[in-house]
């Protein structure tokens, strides 16, 4: 049982809670911890604060450190998977048959392999997410929910969230507790990797292009990373898919030019949903199907043939993941899920929150797909059962009430590979997101989770 350093008398002090809400709103707005809807090129200047917890949430030090320590291994794993066409082809074979989106991404990957990759540099910015499972044996353990290998967000805003909660704790008179909030600066860590890759690309004139959504919900999050680059005199342009389609071309050496400017790096902050693409990205290594295949005996060893420590550290974060491929093994998964649906999560190959299936609905979906390969679009995962913490969730325009909350810890990773050599492999910082326990799914952008900070206990 993790105890909360925020005392009950503070949590229940109505007048104080009222004051602290103002502190959060003010501090978040001052720091541009904002979430809003901006249409690129429009003059939208009405903003609101990003959703926040009123108080930070306790996270045990050992599990927090475990998450940071395993990140460089996950970076290597993602990089190695992304280059292992044979593994990807096998792991995703059944998914590709029924999931058109993954199939199309895979065909882009094949095309690139066929034409030969002219780029010797690879930059990876990812975020591995965890929940602290207090399910089975009374102990608490770190369990990976997923890894995001494209458009992993909140590195920018989470670089400022410590300031907001430190302020709250000071006003609440909890000076000792305030010291338990760690510094955090993923924006600097991500920008450092982008800047290093830009330097290795080796053209002073070349720019970094952020590939962004049409309606940008989270532009201030981008801005922190973007500003770090401008501070290094690296020019950043922001473009949508349609802009690149219209104004982009590859020269004979396959250098990318957009609106006449050479692009050294494309930073994908979009491109993870089918509706982002028209007919014309690779995040195959981050699919849930690959995540499930990695839990099979011997698969991690394929990627770390001479590093059993890395294998053990990665594997320790895995919870049960089960295939729904056609055949006996998949049939067993279905039977197991139908017998105890509340113990599992059914996941399609999608990102962005709100796509997973829980409880009774799992039975509906699996019943409907009975005997058909449609079920192979999904994987099944053990439901992680974190301990709930009492907190207040603040969101612009919503009533504030004491809620039972669940948190998800994210760890940012950055790497650069040049040919076969890793030139940078780092853990770039962390993120804590918290949601009311009544919601099974959904991130910050989906309007469910809010920004938080770990309070190291």
Q: Which is nearer to ligand ADP, 145 or 405 (CB)?
A: 145
**Binding region for ligand ADP (CB under 6 A) out of 73-81, 154-162, 201-209, 348-356:** 348-356
Q: Which is nearer to ligand ADP, 191 or 445 (CB)?
A: 445
Q: Is 120 in a helix, a strand, or coil?
A: coil
Q: Which residues pair with 389 in a beta bridge?
A: 405
Tokens of 320: 């049960």
Q: How would you class 2 by CB atoms within 10 Å of its CB: exposed for 0-12, middle for 13-18, buried for 19 or more?
A: middle
Active site residue 226: no
Question: Is 432 near ligand ADP (CB under 6 A)?
Answer: no
Q: Which of 48, 295, 355, 436 binds ligand ADP (CB under 6 A)?
A: 355
Active site residue 433: yes
Q: Which is nearer to ligand ADP, 178 or 221 (CB)?
A: 221
Question: Is 148 near Mg ion (CB under 5 A)?
Answer: yes
Active site residue 351: yes
Contact 435, 404 (CB under 8 A): no
Q: How would you class 339 by CB atoms within 10 Å of its CB: exposed for 0-12, middle for 13-18, buried for 19 or more?
A: exposed
Q: Which residues pair with 146 in a beta bridge?
A: 129
φ and ψ at 359, to 5 degrees?
A: 55, -135
Question: Is 383 near ligand ADP (CB under 6 A)?
Answer: yes
Question: Is 146 near ligand ADP (CB under 6 A)?
Answer: yes
Question: Is 341 near ligand ADP (CB under 6 A)?
Answer: no
Measured CA to CA, the distance from residue 8 to residue 406 in angstroms comes to 18
Contact map string, positions 386 to 415, toward ligand ADP, x by CB under 6 A: ----------------------x-------
Q: Which position among 34, 143, 239, 288 bears the catalytic label?
A: 288
Active site residue 438: no
Q: How many residues bind Mg ion (CB under 5 A)?
A: 3
Contact 193, 426 (CB under 8 A): yes
Q: Which is nearer to ligand ADP, 198 or 272 (CB)?
A: 272
Q: Is 15 in a helix, a strand, or coil?
A: helix
Q: Which position among 75, 82, 141, 148 bears the catalytic label?
A: 148
Active site residue 107: no
Other CB atoms within a 10 A radius of the CB of residue 289 amount to 28
Measured CA to CA, the distance from residue 72 to residue 69 in angstroms comes to 7
Question: Is 212 near ligand ADP (CB under 6 A)?
Answer: no
- Tell whether 361 is in a known binding site: no
Contact 349, 289 (CB under 8 A): yes
Place of tokens 């929910």: 145
Annotated binding site for Mg(2+): 146, 148, 351
Which residues are at the interface with ligand ADP (CB under 6 A)? 129, 131, 145-146, 345, 347, 351-353, 355-356, 381-384, 408, 441, 443
């Amino acid at each position: 049982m993790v105890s909360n350093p925020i005392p009950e008398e503070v949590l229940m002090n109505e007048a104080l809670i009222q004051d602290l809400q103002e502190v959060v709103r003010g501090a978040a707005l001052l720091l541009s911890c904002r979430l809003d809807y901006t249409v690129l090129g429009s003059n939208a200047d009405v903003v609101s604060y990003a959703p926040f917890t009123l108080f930070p949430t306790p996270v045990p030090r050992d599990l927090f450190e475990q998450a940071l320590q395993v990140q460089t291994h996950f970076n290597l794993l993602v990089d190695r998977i992304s280059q292992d066409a044979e593994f990807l082809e096998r792991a995703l074979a059944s998914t590709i048959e029924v999931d058109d989106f993954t199939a199309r991404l895979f065909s882009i990957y094949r095309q690139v392999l066929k034409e030969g990759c002219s780029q010797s540099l690879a930059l990876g910015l990812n975020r591995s997410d965890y929940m602290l499972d207090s399910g089975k044996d009374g102990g608490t353990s770190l369990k990976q929910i997923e890894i995001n290998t494209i458009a992993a967000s909140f590195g920018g805003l989470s670089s400022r969230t410590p300031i907001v909660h430190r302020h709250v704790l000071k006003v609440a008179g909890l000076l000792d507790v305030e010291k338990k909030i760690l510094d955090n600066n993923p924006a600097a860590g991500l920008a450092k990797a982008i800047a290093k890759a830009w330097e290795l690309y080796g053209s002073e004139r070349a720019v970094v292009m952020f590939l962004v959504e049409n309606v940008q919900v989270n532009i201030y999050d981008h801005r922190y990373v973007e500003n770090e680059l401008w501070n290094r005199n690296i020019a950043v342009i922001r473009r949508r898919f349609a802009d690149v389609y219209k104004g982009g071309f590859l020269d004979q050496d396959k250098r990318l030019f957009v609106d006449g400017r050479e692009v050294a790096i494309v930073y994908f902050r979009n491109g993870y949903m089918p509706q982002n693409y028209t007919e014309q990205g690779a995040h195959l290594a981050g699919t849930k199907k690959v995540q499930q295949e990695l839990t099979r005996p011997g698969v991690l060893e394929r990627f770390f043939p001479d590093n059993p420590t890395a294998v053990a550290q990665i594997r320790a974060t895995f919870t049960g993941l089960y295939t729904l491929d056609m055949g006996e093994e998949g049939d067993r998964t279905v039977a197991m899920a139908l017998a105890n649906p509340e113990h599992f999560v059914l996941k399609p190959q999608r990102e962005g929150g709100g796509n997973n299936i829980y409880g009774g609905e799992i039975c509906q979906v699996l019943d409907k797909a009975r005997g058909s390969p449609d079920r192979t679009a999904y994987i099944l995962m053990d439901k992680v059962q974190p301990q709930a913490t009492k907190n207040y969730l603040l969101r612009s325009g919503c009533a504030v009430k004491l809620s039972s909350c669940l948190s998800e810890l994210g760890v940012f990773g950055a790497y650069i590979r040049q040919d076969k050599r890793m030139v940078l492999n780092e853990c770039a910082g962390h993120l804590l997101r918290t949601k009311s326990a009544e919601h099974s799914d959904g991130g910050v952008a989906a309007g469910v989770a809010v920004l938080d900070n770990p309070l190291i206990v």
